[in-house]
Structure 1
Amino acid sequence: MTLHPTDLDPALRIDAVLRRQRDRESSARTYARSFPVVPVRAHGMTIEGADGRHYLDCLSGAGTLALGHNHPVVIEAIRRTVDSGAPLHVLDLATPEKDAFTEALFATLPPAFADRARVHFCGPAGTDAVEAALKLMQTATGRRGLLAFTGAYHGMTTGALAVTGNVAVKEPVAGIAADVTRLPYPYSYRCPFGVGGEWGAELSAAYTERLLDDPSGGVVPPAAMILEAVQGEGGAVPAPDSWLRQMRRITAERGIPLIVDEVQTGVGRTGAFWAVEHSGVIPDAMVMSKAIGGSLPLAVVVYHEDYDGWRPGAHTGTFRGNTLAMAAGTATLRHVAREGLAERAATVGARMTARLDGLRGELPAIGDVRGRGLMIGVELVDPEGEPDSCGARPPAPRTAAGVRAACLDRGLIVELGGRHDSTVRLLPPLVITDEQAEAVLDRLADAIAEVTAPRLTGRRA
């Protein structure tokens, strides 16, 4: 008799699924290596595995799930669209769903930006929207060079990878478009100038301005500057608002278009609907993906109409008309705005950050706590290591990996990022409850204490 897979012991079924994934999928898979979980159901912030265990999801699809898993407004929008008989794939043709999405999106933008903006629907990933933004500005300016920053993450396709900072993923790849000038991002804890704080940000701005004006600085007038208002994969590093305003001034005075990558920071994540709103900066282009699709794949670049010099088909793609994603995205954008979830993210995020910062005294492996809204980073360090000139101790990637695993054991999903993957990143959905926030912090603190306890015990001994 042949057994159906569902007749097997759950643990055996899970092992079989994970084994087949290891055997069949590429070695480039990432999250599956860290989380040996087979999700079968999810709601809000909770994921249920095939083994019946429940997990609090502080990854949220790398920031994609602004409303968490299977939020009722998203499910209702998807069902309504399917039941209506609307075409699910129409390339870039006009549809009522696209029109509604565009209206909802523009309603969330800073008015000074939205009033003269155009939108381009890209392939359904943030990296393609980055490619589109770079090509747009190269076309508009007739220039080729780009300005990007240390710690940046903009995607994995060729142009996006060129402006990404991570050396490990770039090094093995030959032929990356390399006409990129790398500038120092203001990272207070590990300041590139070794001074930290506001002074480090001021030096970053001064260095950028002087380099661009130096006739022997080696920088040909660039096509664009691209930056993140809060670096996500870079370790939840927020840029000071004053520094962002300086970047806007420097680029505007020199006729350099400014592209802000809002793929992870958008739709309320940082405590404002768009991260640029904290500083009041109006960029020339904003790159958007992740949460704008309401959990489904969708990506756009919105830009000032003066740069709209493309010819038809200059940046195209088959999957630019995902009707379900637009319907889900419209529902999400409107719900976040209507329910004040950006403000909620600011309040809960500040509370979580304050409590984590308060744990540094009893958990010396916590070197730095930072972020904005519900985009939080906890950088783990070797408390016995020698501090640098800013007081930062050496990063502790093995400790961070151990904490991630210990969190999973406690029913909490967190991921790592930042330099040496030593920063625990918290990206809970904007609908996180106060009770869930406390549970996240309790489990994370307990995991850090457990992983670092042997070292602390050994030191006392």
Structure 2
Amino acid sequence: MTVHPAERTGTEPLDAGRTVGLADAILERQRARESSARTYARSFPIVPARAQGMTIEGADGRRYLDCLSGAGTLALGHNHPVVTEALRRTLGSGAPLHVLDLATPEKDAFTDALFATLPSGFADRARVHFCGPAGTDAVEAAFKLMQTATGRRGLAAFTGAYHGMTAGALAASGGVTTKQPVPGIAADVTRLPYPYSYRCPFGVGGERGARLSSVYTERLLDDPNGGVVPPAAMILEAVQGEGGAVPAPDAWLRDMRRITSERDIPLIVDEVQTGVGRTGAFWAVEHSGIVPDAMVMSKAIGGGLPLAVLVYHEDYDGWLPGAHTGTFRGNTLAMASGTATLRHVVEEGLTDRAAVVGARMTERLNALRGALPAIGDVRGRGLMIGVELVDPEAEPDSCGARPAAPQVAVQVRAACLERGLIVELGGRYDSTVRLLPPLVITDEEAEAVLDRLADAIAAVTAPQGRGVRA
């Protein structure tokens, strides 16, 4: 059996036992002091002390390959030299670190770098609004902008979506568990079927399933007795992230753009997790060639620091001054690290790198399905990959999908951590292992990720835990 235990660095303190004890004490204090809403801290009972590239070192000296990357935030991995140098340079310059939304050289440079990456036909008539530091605030800003511009209230959103945890963003998201305790949270949202081929909402899958989604959407919006008041906007993800790395077909995205354009419904694309090269294009909408009315951006645009913006067509710029504000819209350090990241991704061709490495990893994962029948589906785009785990003994449905195996997924995540690999779960029933490595992942690191993941799945599911190499 091939096993990849979490490694020692070779430079851990002499009193390693004391260091382990300190890590345990920190974890215990965290459990006692933090709210019950803790998430990642429950999945990964470690205390990161240092990090470089794709590697995290815990306070106990154990090392891990980080395939979570701050939920996709760290496009260049941890402490990349171009990011740390930008931060040192900005700190040494005496630049103000907090100026609300005042103009600064750092903001000007960031805006230039951002607009240089925007899809053709969008940048020349785009406006940017700097939001609070989280992606959910940019989503709220997008909703408010389009409600102001159209005079309408409702929203069209999709099954499987995730847009954030504040009120409007949560309402537009698909997850039921987080909405149940909040009565009426989704009252103004029309839920539409997202084309999820493996678990097709129409039970047919493939291109036909995507086409049915388009037809359903169009007919529902046009039906005078369909119960849908014309919405202020439609919001979608070109690849659903928390929804389980589910990519939308390009033809379906073009259908959504046509349907919304013909009905004067603004189209908002949430690029919070898909942006900055993650899917093998700088922005995920570029695969389909569509130009949305607004794009919501966060995560990787700040180079690892909190930053969120809304970019939209100037025709919708009907806000009055102060219509959407936030104290931390002028994060100078995030703009500096964001500028460095955006430019480095372009200069080093990291979008192409993500496409090549992601395709290679996906191909090898698909090849494992015969040896590891608990792998029901492998999907994604670029370095945004999902591996859905299922019960291989159960009967498949009409699309060939077997029931999700959430308990197996939890065990696989834990087994990965034991082998020095950090992965998180998502998708329906949290049964999809999600891979979000940094764009700078090396070939050797990609192989190690697949080896450790394959071995973890085999250890959890195969008879006698026989290991399988990727």
TM-score, normalised on structure 1?
0.97
What letter matches 2:413 in structure 1?
R
1:71 aligns with 2:80: yes
Task: Tell whether 2:22 aligns with 1:13.
Answer: yes
- Which residue matches 2:48? 39
Matches within 5 A, 1:62-461: 62-454=71-463
Q: 1:57 is aligned with what amino acid?
A: D
* CA distance in structure 1 between the partners assigned to 2:236 and 2:249 by the alignment: 13
> Residue type matched to 1:364 in 2?
P
Question: What code does the residue aligned with 1:174 have?
Answer: P
Amino acid at match of 2:266: P
- 1:18-71: CA deviation from partner (whole Å, max 9, x where unpaired): 000000000000000010110000000000001111100000000000000000
Secondary structure, aligned partner of 1:441: helix
Once residues 338 and 150 of structure 2 are traced to their aligned partners in structure 1, the CA distance between those partners, rounded to angstroms, is 32
Identical-residue share of aligned pairs (%): 85
Distance 1:198 1:64 in 2: 31
Q: Give a deviation string over 1:75-118, Cα, whole Å, max 9, x none.
A: 00000000000000000000000000000000000130000000
SS in 2 for 1:167: coil
Shift of 1:120: 0.1
C-alpha deviation, 1:177, in angstroms: 4.9
- CA distance in structure 1 between the partners assigned to 2:318 and 2:84 by the alignment: 38
Computed over aligned residues only, the root mean square deviation of the Cα atoms, in angstroms, reads 1.2
After superposing the two structures, state which structure 1 stretch, 447-456 or 382-391, moved more: 447-456
Aligned length: 452
Instruction: Tell me the distance in 1 between the aligned counterparts of 2:147 and 2:66.
Output: 39
1:369-413 CA distance string (max 9 Å, x none): 000000000000000111111010000000000000000000000
Residues 324-357 of structure 1 show CA distances to partners (whole Å, capped at 9, x for unaligned) of: 0000000000000000000000000000000000
Query: What is the rounded CA distance, in whole Å, between the counterparts of 2:452 and 2:239 in structure 1?
Result: 25
Q: Which runs of 4+ in 1 moved over 3 A?
A: 454-457
Distance in 2 separating the partners of 1:294 and 1:78: 10
Structure 1 CA distance, aligned partners of 2:150 and 2:329? 25
Give unmatched runs, 5+ long, in structure 1.
Answer: 1-5
CA distance in 2, matches of 1:111, 1:402: 44
Q: Within 2, Cα distance between the matches of 1:202 and 1:222?
A: 22
Unaligned runs of 5+ in 2: 1-14
Q: Kindly state the Cα deviation for residue 456 of structure 1 after the two structures are TM-superposed.
A: 8.7
Scaled by the length of structure 2, the TM-score of the pair is 0.95
Question: Which whole-Å CA distance do the structure 2 matches of 1:442 and 1:65 have between them?
Answer: 23
Q: Given the superposition, is the C-alpha separation of residues 270 and 256 from structure 1 closer, same or farther in structure 2, using an over 3 Å criterion?
A: same
Please give the alpha-carbon distance, in whole angstroms, between the structure 1 residues aligned to 2:395 and 2:360: 31
Does the 8 Å contact 2:16/2:60 carry over to 1? no
